[in-house]
């Protein structure tokens, strides 16, 4: 499935179109992957609607890729044919800039993203530098493993940036693929921490309670306790403003979104310094993921073992999966079956 140009769902309800393409050839240090499954992420919607547009068209989206090594490029030897591997949003970084050398390759100015800057996993085959591929633990099916590579990894990075420790209160705004994995991770790593979930519909709130949330409420609801940290996983601005009211002094809001939609940007005008920001509250963004995030989360998820809730779709139904995601019809993560 390819994206031919930037458009909105209103103008084009089926923005991805099927296309035939030659099988890609792995270059030096690369591997060719026969794709088995690919997670569906809101970042694909951001690409389609032009908030983080691909530099060239057409492009094959998809960056939560699970598949099997089909061929090795020159000098590639980390994996063997038929090894199962995963690929996340991080496709390549330069390795020599200050960010890369300091361990912050997610901030590399030359960062290339899978499914945006290069072709991704909404296809039967794709290539990736072998250094940016990850072995997949056997405990997971292909579909279960796919959301771990982005929704899980970026959620784990958000949790690290939130500075949560056991016994503290965590808020989650929005309850999609990433948040449902964060909640399960928190219950394992911080058994005495309490998680409070703000979600726009009762279906999402009920799912959060099933997974062990201490409390759930609508976006505007007042939780029974103030929170030490909040992770925002929504594409909107309203949950950001609402969340800041619920932080304790010195609390931190971590925004886990590559872009925010413009439609409710006027919500920011409601920010009131003494209510939302005073007493050393802070806002921190999450930018991309590093390989370390993916590798560490795959290991942690296998140890728990964490069980992602997935809804599976054939590749031909990619547009339907994306439209449902945009409409908020979510329970866990959406995954495309490719093979």
3-state secondary structure of 58: coil
- Max distance between CA atoms of the chain, in angstroms, equals 59
* Per-residue model confidence (pLDDT) at position 208: 97
Residues 6+ apart with CB under 8 A from 273: none
Angle between the N-to-C axes of helices 177-189 and 291-303, in degrees from 0 to 180, rounded to the nearest 10 = 60
Tokens representing 71 are 């061929």
Mean pLDDT of 143-152: 98
Contact 40, 140 (CB under 8 A): no
pLDDT in tens, 244-287: 999 999 999 999 999 999 888 999 999 999 999 999 999 999 99
Tokens representing 259 are 């872009």
Provide the whole-model pTM: 0.94
**Cα 78 to the chain's mean position, in Å?**
26
pLDDT in tens, 312-328: 999 999 999 999 999 99
**CA 247 → CA 161, 172, 260, 261, distances in Å?**
15, 12, 21, 23
Distance CA 277, CA 271 (A): 8
Q: Where are the beta strands (DSSP E) in the chain?
A: 2-3, 16-17, 30-40, 65-72, 84-87, 90-92, 112-113, 125-129, 134-135, 169-173, 194-198, 215-217, 227-232, 247-255, 282-285, 310-314, 333-337
Pairing of strands 227-232, 169-173: parallel
Backbone φ and ψ of 82, nearest 5°:
75, 0
* Per-residue model confidence (pLDDT) at position 142: 98
pLDDT in tens, 15-70: 999 999 899 999 999 999 999 999 999 999 999 999 999 999 999 999 999 999 99
* Per-residue model confidence (pLDDT) at position 240: 95
pLDDT in tens, 167-218: 999 999 999 999 999 999 999 999 999 999 999 999 999 999 999 999 999 9
Distance CA 156, CA 311 (A): 21
* Per-residue model confidence (pLDDT) at position 263: 86
Mean pLDDT of 125-139: 98
pLDDT in tens, 273-284: 999 999 999 999
* Per-residue model confidence (pLDDT) at position 8: 75
| Domains defined along the chain, listed by start | 2-149+289-337 (3.90.180.10), 152-285 (3.40.50.720)
Q: Residue 137 burial by CB count (10 A; 0-12/13-18/19+): exposed, middle or buried?
A: middle
pLDDT in tens, 81-118: 999 999 999 999 999 999 999 999 999 999 999 999 99
* Per-residue model confidence (pLDDT) at position 294: 98
Distance CA 133, CA 139 (A): 18
């Amino acid at each position: 499935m390819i994206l031919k140009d930037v458009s909105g769902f209103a103008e084009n309800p089926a923005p991805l179109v099927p296309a035939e393409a030659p099988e890609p050839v792995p270059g030096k240090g690369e591997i060719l992957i026969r794709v088995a499954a690919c997670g569906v992420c809101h970042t694909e919607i951001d690409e389609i609607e032009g908030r983080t547009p691909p530099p060239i068209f057409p492009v094959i989206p998809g960056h939560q890729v699970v598949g099997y090594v089909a061929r090795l490029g020159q000098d590639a030897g980390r994996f063997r044919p038929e090894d199962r591997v995963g690929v996340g949003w991080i496709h390549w970084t330069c390795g020599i800039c200050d960010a890369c050398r300091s361990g912050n390759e997610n901030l590399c100015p030359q960062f290339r993203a899978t499914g945006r800057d290069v072709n991704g996993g909404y296809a039967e085959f794709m290539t990736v530098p072998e250094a940016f591929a990850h072995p997949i633990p056997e405990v997971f099916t292909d579909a279960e493993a796919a959301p771990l590579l982005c929704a899980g990894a970026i959620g784990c990075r958000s949790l690290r940036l939130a500075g949560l420790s056991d016994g503290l209160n965590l808020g989650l705004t929005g309850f999609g693929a990433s948040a449902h994995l964060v909640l399960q991770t928190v219950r394992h790593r911080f058994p005495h921490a309490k998680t409070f979930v703000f979600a726009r519909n009762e279906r999402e709130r009920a799912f959060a309670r099933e997974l062990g949330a201490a409390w759930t409420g609508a976006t505007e609801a007042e939780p029974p306790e103030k929170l030490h940290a909040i992770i925002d996983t929504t594409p909107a601005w309203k949950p950001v403003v609402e969340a800041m009211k619920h932080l304790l002094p010195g609390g931190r809001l971590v925004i886990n979104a590559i872009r925010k939609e413009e439609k409710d940007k006027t919500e920011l005008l409601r920010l009131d310094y003494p209510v939302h920001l005073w007493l050393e509250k802070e806002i921190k963004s999450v930018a991309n993921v590093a390989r370390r995030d993916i590798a560490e989360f795959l290991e942690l998820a296998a140890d728990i073992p964490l069980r992602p809730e997935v809804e599976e779709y054939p590749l031909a139904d990619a547009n339907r999966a994306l439209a449902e995601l945009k409409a908020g019809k979510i329970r866990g993560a959406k995954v495309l079956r490719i093979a």
